[in-house]
Copies of this chain bind each other. A is one copy, B any other.
Amino acid sequence: MTTSGAGAESIDHARIAAALAVRGEPACRVRDVLDRVGDKWSVTLVHELGGGARRFSELRRGVPGISPRMLSATLRGLERDGFVLRTVHPTVPPQVEYALTPLGHTLLDTAWSLMNWALEHADDIDDARREYDAK
């Protein structure tokens, strides 16, 4: 595919732009945030970075199951939205640090409240599902 200029595979910005084009309702903003937070790895990565700056391979090891492709893509999405700062140290071998920005920390706080709600009501949801499926 190789969308735009850099010759690198990238996140589909057009789709995000389309989502942003629909404005007006606050619910649209929530959807926008959920598109970001609701993907498979963003919350996990933000949570991991909440413990301090990490290098690429540290994240790779610290987040079991993530592929370098998804790690790279997710980090770039978070960087694009201003949640993560990417710092390259021109050493050999290369060393790249990823850290939460202040904005990223506010996202982390919001994610915590979402997780808190999830944990509080996970049992309620499970019960409701079992009851529904029993019928």
Which A residues are within 8 Å of any B CB, using their own CB?
1, 5, 10-13, 15-16, 19-20, 23, 26-27, 29-40, 43-44, 47, 64, 79-82, 103, 106-107, 109-122, 124-129, 131-133
B132:A30 contact, CB within 8 angstroms: no
Q: Identify 21 residue pairs between A and B in the complex whose beta-carbon atoms are under 8 Å apart, listed by A's number.
A: A11-B113, A12-B119, A15-B119, A19-B119, A26-B118, A27-B43, A29-B118, A30-B115, A30-B119, A31-B44, A33-B118, A33-B121, A34-B38, A80-B128, A80-B133, A81-B132, A82-B124, A82-B127, A103-B121, A110-B113, A110-B117
Which residue of B16, B39, B79, B120 is within 8 Å of A112 (Cβ)?
B16
B64:A33 contact, CB within 8 angstroms: no
Task: Specify how many copies of this chain sit in the oligomer.
Answer: 2
A65 to B38, CA, bound (A): 21
Chain B residues within 8 Å of A33, by CB: 114, 117-118, 121-122, 125
